[in-house]
Amino acid sequence: MEAAGCRIERASALDTGEMLGFWRSIPGLGMGQGDTDESLRIFMVRNPSTCLLLRDNGRLVGTVMGGFDGRRGYIYHLAVHPDYRGRGYGKALLERVTKELKTLGAPKIHLFAFNDNQVAAGFYTSQGWEKRRDIQVFSWDGS
């Protein structure tokens, strides 16, 4: 997608610091132990076609990371700078990462959003994603 200076490109290891700073600036986007320069570089090596950035004349204004484990696709950190929302950029990032995951063979794709992130919930619902009510998510941090 290219419009008015904005374009989607693949992320690289050189982008991890900028991505982490961007995510910290986005309200409602949660970050965890796995959000480090090293872990992002490893993720990108394993998922080179599904880690995407949206840039406006070089400035980072959006991100999405997709991963495929051989069975399911997963989407992480889809975020668009608040000044760029409502212009179709989030939809473009979502469509591109979904297309890439399907190309890799993912028959089903999941994503996670915090319960109190109503902006994300509204966006994903408007894009045709279904909120699951039949499962619970459990996490373990290795402690």
Compute the 3-state secondary structure of the chain and give helix, strand, coil in percent, each to the nearest 5.
35, 25, 40
The tokens for 140 are 């373990």
Helices (H), 49-88: none
What residue ranges define each of the domains in the chain, with the CATH number in brackets? 2-126 (3.40.630.30)
125-134: Cβ within 8 A, 24+ apart: 127/91, 127/94
Q: Which residue is it, tokens 């991100």?
A: 63
Res. 143 pLDDT band, cuts 50 70 90: low
Whether 101 contacts 65, CB under 8 Å: no
Which has more pLDDT, 96 or 140? 96
Closest CA to 64 of 96, 87, 42: 96
Provide the residue type at 79 as one letter.
Answer: A
Which pTM value belongs to this model?
Answer: 0.91
> Alpha-carbon Rg of the chain, whole angstroms?
15
pLDDT tens-place string over residues 41-79: 999 999 999 999 999 999 999 999 999 999 999 999 999
Mean residue pLDDT of the chain comes to 93
d(CA 7, CA 43): 22
Collapsed DSSP state (helix, strand, coil) of residue 99: helix
